[in-house]
Structure 1
Amino acid sequence: MLRIGKIDYTNTLPVFHYFHVEDFAGEVTMIPQVPAVLNRAMREGKVDLGPISSFAYGENYGKYLLLPDLSVSALGPVGSIFLFTKAPLESYGRMRVALTSTSATSVNLLKILFHFFLRTEVEYETMEPELEEMLVDHDGALLIGDDALRAGWGSHPYQVYDLGDLWHRFTGKWMTFAVWAVREEAYLENPSLLERVYGAFLASKERSRREIDPIIRTAQERAGGSEEAWRRYFAGLSHELEAPQLDGLSTYYDFAVQLGLLPVQPEMRLVSHLSYHR
């Protein structure tokens, strides 16, 4: 049985919406969770395949293989990874920032942005993703996924910074927040099943480009928001993993190594011989 992790956020809907698990009856089981929990489950061997934080891949790249053409990426604003602050960023020399407990890539991206580009000294504290509670004793709060979307749509007095936008402004590169990876041992046990599952994910991604309306309706049911807001959001996301996304990810890893967040530059270990391609 291939255990597939499913990030329980709307940003992965285009890859999962038209993936029919019933086509793999008795072969596949789906495990929905937030990124931090799935990262740990993959590391511990409790999940075999699925989207994980790019940072989690970097920490454990020796155990995993990347699936080509699948990611959650953006060139500029990503629309669901926000830093909320009580005052403009340029007014701070020192800050206290509350970090969401549900992410790894975005938390470390924020640390990279503050250290290398914003030149701000920051004290961090990890908290549950509740915006008002996070900002009681902090100058800023980082939220991701549907938590960030709902907070961004709400009425509040805070400054809002999109981390994808900041990254692109300072580096000019893509930012890849999540990748689809498979534990190498799981792939070696049943490569033919992995190839069929991979094909189904790519087919879902391609179909979502043609038939986005059902995905928008599902997103509205789960997180609220207007049709127009969701249409803009999905238009700003990319689920590709090709040379431009890999280049941006390599730059992210390079900064992570310089800052001591990762011990070495991770190798991009793609499953290069999968036969299903667009």
Structure 2
Amino acid sequence: MSYLTIPSKTNIHILLFCIWYLMIRLGKIAFANCDFPYYAMEHGKLGSQDIDITEAHPVELARRLFEGKLDISPISSIMYAKRDDLLILPGLSITSNDFTKSVLICGNGRMDLADLEGKTLCIPETTASSATLIKIIFWQKGIRVNIRQCQGTDIDQMLKHGDAALLIGDSALHAISRYNTIADLGNEWKKMTGKKMVYALWVAREDFARKYPEKVKSVLDTILESKDYAYRNLNEIANFLGKEKNIDCAFMKEYLHTLNYDLDDESRESLELYFRYAMDCGIISGVKLRFFQ
């Protein structure tokens, strides 16, 4: 006679923990610009994956990565420059060719960057690359601005404490039709340098990559495949994200067209120039691009 052994709750919990432990912990920026390359991966277009995805804003993802709570994640590009224990995953970035539409300085009245001389600009604590880019642009233009870091991304609250506010990600997409855009930072960088702006990189902790190179390679291949699906099916994803985020689908399509998720030679040159400006401003001391191979 055979008996069916029913595992105890404790054993089930142990089994579930083991399954979770073996999964690769991947970060995801909680904005539409990261929903796009992850769409196929998260909607069953690529089959099952041994990946556990954590969604948060860029600074929080970097913190979790540095604490060893994530193995691989997109992070603000400037955060990579402040560490020496990360490897860049090749072929991946969040880059704007010119206008970004989701990295904006907004205010109530009509003004330009020069009008912010001596005024207060509120920036959210959720961004690092854009905050650095603002400092570089003002430094280059010789504009002195009081920068105040604020909690949250509510523009109405930010404008209670300053004359203008930096908005990033979905907050900017929702505000672009309601507030005056003083500057699109992607466009300001383009005018200043003639180059793209690389806002985020996908990186792996070097200790994890050295120990499990095959796992990193597997995740990299999966993200690249998901990115390629997104490029081929932009209309499908724009319609989905527009409805999900209550943003006009045509505008979402236009927005996604402004972004690039590759990391080609031109993007690398722009990234290195951005880092040189950050060094000149005293934000970082030096950086070397090191890639996972």
TM-score past 0.5 threshold = yes
Residue number in structure 1 paired with 2:153: 129
Q: What pairs with 1:101-140 in structure 2 (closer than 5 Å)?
A: 101-117=125-141, 119-127=142-150, 128-140=152-164
- Report the counterpart of residue 84 of structure 1 in structure 2: 106
CA offset digits 1:72-101 (Å, max 9, x no partner):
001211110000134222334322100012
1:11-66 Cα shifts (integer Å, max 9, x gaps): 012321111597555x4211111111001111111111011110111111x11110
Counterpart for residue 276 of structure 1: none
How far off its partner does 1:165 sit?
0.3
Q: For residues 26 and 238 of structure 2, what CA distance do their matches in structure 1 show?
A: 23
Give, as a single letter, the amino acid of the residue that structure 1 aligns with 2:126: T
Query: 1:137 and 1:66 mapped to 2: Cα distance?
Result: 37
Mapped contact 1:21–1:28 kept (Cα < 8 A): no
Would you say the 8 A contact 2:94–2:200 is kept in 1? yes
What one-letter code is carried by the residue in structure 2 that aligns with 1:168? K
Quick check: which has more Rg, 1 or 2? 2
User: CA separation in 2, counterparts of 1:98 and 1:34?
Assistant: 17
Q: 1:36 aligns with which of 59, 62, 72?
A: 59
What are structure 1's unaligned runs of at least 5 residues? 274-278
Give the conservation status (yes or no) of the 8 Å contact 1:21–1:29: no
Matched ranges for 1:193-232 at <5 A: 193-232=215-254
Q: Does 1:55 align with 2:55?
A: no
CA distance in 2, matches of 1:92, 1:143: 16
1: CA distance between counterparts of 2:164 and 2:105?
Answer: 7
Preserved CA contact (<8 Å) 2:101 2:173: yes
Q: Bigger shift: 90-99 or 244-253?
A: 90-99
Letter in 1 for 2:194: G
Report the secondary structure of 1:67's partner residue: strand
Q: Give the TM-score, by structure 1 length.
A: 0.91
1:17 match: secondary structure: helix
CA contact (8 A) 1:150 1:223 kept: no
Q: How does 1:1-278 map to 2 (within 5 A)?
A: 1=22, 2-20=24-42, 23=47, 27-60=50-83, 62-85=84-107, 86=109, 87-117=111-141, 119-127=142-150, 128-153=152-177, 155-156=178-179, 158-264=180-286, 266-271=287-292, 273=293
Distance 1:64 1:11 in 2: 22
Which residue identity is paired with 2:162?
H
Q: Secondary structure of the equivalent of 1:252?
A: helix
Q: What amino acid does structure 1 have at the position aligned with 2:71?
A: D
After superposing on structure 2, the runs of 4+ consecutive aligned residues of structure 1 that deviate more than 3 Å are 20-25
Following superposition, the deviation at residue 132 of structure 1 comes to 1.4
Aligned with 1:94: secondary structure?
A: coil
CA apart distance, 1:249: 0.8
**Identity level (%):** 27
Cα distance, 1:69 vs. partner? 0.9
Aligned-partner Cα distance in 2 for 1:101–1:258: 23
Looking at structure 1, the residues matched to 196 and 269 of structure 2 have their Cα atoms a distance apart, in angstroms, of: 8
Corresponding residue pairs, total: 266
Give TM-score scaled by structure 2 length: 0.86
Task: Flag the 1:9–1:89 CA change in 2: closer, same or farther, 3 A.
Answer: same
Whether the 8 Å CA contact 2:88–2:202 is kept in 1: the answer is yes
Query: What is the rounded CA distance, in whole Å, between the counterparts of 2:183 and 2:246 in structure 1?
Result: 21
* More displaced 10-residue stretch of structure 1: 173-182 or 7-16: 7-16
Note the C-alpha offset of 1:172. Answer: 0.6
Kindly tell me: are residues 89 and 21 of structure 1, through their superposed partners in 2, closer, same or farther at Cα, counting changes over 3 Å? closer
Q: Which moved more, 1:247-256 or 1:79-88?
A: 79-88
